[in-house]
Structure 1
């Protein structure tokens, strides 16, 4: 790393080893906030877009001959079939199923457009969905749909953790830039950076997005952020990747800063230390809070 007296002044670290010990010794357990659990805006948007169809399907609840009732409903309202995959917690619109093991027959169901009432009713019957309506296990399809959407949205929590780290970093970066007269771009690309500031950066893919690019009077700073609550091989590969990025952007004449945090690094210190030793600056949230990032940008 590139040691600076600011590490001693702000953190009490007198050498590289002490800075690294501070880095791994002051990691945050979590950065989850209230919006981590469910993206209610997305759930309710999806619900409102199919509300009419859900209420039409609701009329099937408790029907004695429910398959016949389903065929009649689909004959009158063919677009209702489009929401069936979502009711089975499936985002796919084109579904291919093995319907006969002996003959290995495959049947394709395209829910992006209306299908025959017989096929639609058969799909709902064979998938088990109609049984839940017939015996009133499901008492409200709109309520049930919201529950399914909440469950599907839980898959987005990993992405929300990444976004939370970016939001947290931007909270500090925006404040630093406003007070010092710097410009910054969130989710920057090489094209955006060149168009706004006339500076070129080397990237392996033109579509690569950099979490933050900060333009100061003396240098362009490129910042990547991430948070790892748990360990795994991903951390090792990430550390190696950022070491390569550092050399690439240093050769371009720019400064790379990596802001990372999370207890995941406690059990994966070796690759982090390797990257720490071969790059200039790796910071955690605590270091940013204490003013290290602002000093490095000056």
Structure 2
């Protein structure tokens, strides 16, 4: 019988698996910091805020290319703000200027001493990239505000990663509660080096970059926890379940208990691979089980 069945005094594996899969969180786990990492947005704007305010003088000007040239000539540092205005992360770019001859023009936005030719080239870039019309036609009133919006848009690309981070944050709430109650030590993003350094325990890893979401030390016995949340389906779920079967075997061979905490409506499209993991491993938990103190129960009884 599955060890978790025995610990929780559940009649059979089918009943336990049904309890797990019918209590997944259908509504997701969005926390308030999922939408925008405001700290990152403001941090990105701070180094170019003065340059953006200098560029504000261009708003509404008629002879915009000449105005840009003169501004760059007097304040060459403004060019480092150009990439931010077009949502571009690099400080250099090569533009294809002739599609028949494949001629290129290189632009460098690092602050430096500029020749008149450099100033003209960069003014041309400003115009041809569409920024000239943006400021000339007063489509924006303040470039600091505008770049704040650009950064918010770029930051939305990080939401996928934040979904995983949120699951870790939620699980850590229960891991900390458990360890505080039982007087145990834990670490997040654990690896062989940190475990050896802090706890004096050596482990073998399958790859040097291996990090565990959480490691718990119970009087020298290790418990490793991996967690993830899948709001939607896809091939990733099957591959994760297969990977964790092997991971469970790998850690068990070193007398390390492996616990997988997973959740999300996505599993409804991948019940079979999840069941395969459940049948081959000892500990599969979801968020509802953490809420109901099953992690504490496991660590108390083992």
Aligned-partner Cα distance in 1 for 2:211–2:126: 42
Moved over 6 A (4+): none
Moved more, 198-207 or 260-269: 198-207
1:69 and 2:67 aligned: yes
Paired residue total = 294
Q: Structure 2 matches for 1:165-184, cutoff 5 A?
A: 165-184=167-186
TM-score (norm. length: structure 1): 0.94
1:27 Cα deviation from its structure 2 partner: 0.6
What does residue 8 of structure 2 align with? Answer: 7
- 1:217 Cα deviation after fit: 1.8
Aligned to 1:46: 44
Q: Which runs of 5+ in 2 are unaligned?
A: none
1:112 corresponding residue in structure 2: 110
Mapped to 1, the partners of 2:104 and 2:274 lie a distance apart of 49
| Aligned partners of 2:5 and 2:16 also within 8 Å | no
Q: Secondary structure at the match of 1:56?
A: helix
Aligned to 2:93: 95
Q: Deviations over 1:197-256 (max 9, x none)?
A: 222223232222211000002620011111111111111111111111111111111111
Asked if the contact 1:3/1:15 (under 8 Å) is kept, the reply is no
Q: Deviations over 1:84-116 (max 9, x none)?
A: 111111212232222210101122223234462
Give the equivalent residue in structure 1 for 2:233.
Answer: 231
Contact 1:30-1:229 at 8 Å conserved across structures: yes
Looking at structure 2, the residues matched to 265 and 94 of structure 1 have their Cα atoms a distance apart, in angstroms, of 44
Which one is further off, 42-51 or 129-138? 42-51
Per the alignment, residue 18 of structure 2 pairs with 21
When normalised by structure 2's length, the TM-score is 0.93
Instruction: Please give the root-mean-square deviation of Cα atoms over the aligned residues, in Å.
Output: 1.4
Q: Is the 8 A contact 1:7 1:19 kept in 2?
A: no
Deviation of the 1:2 alpha carbon: 2.5
Equivalences for residues 140-289 of structure 1 within 5 A: 140-217=142-219, 219-289=221-291
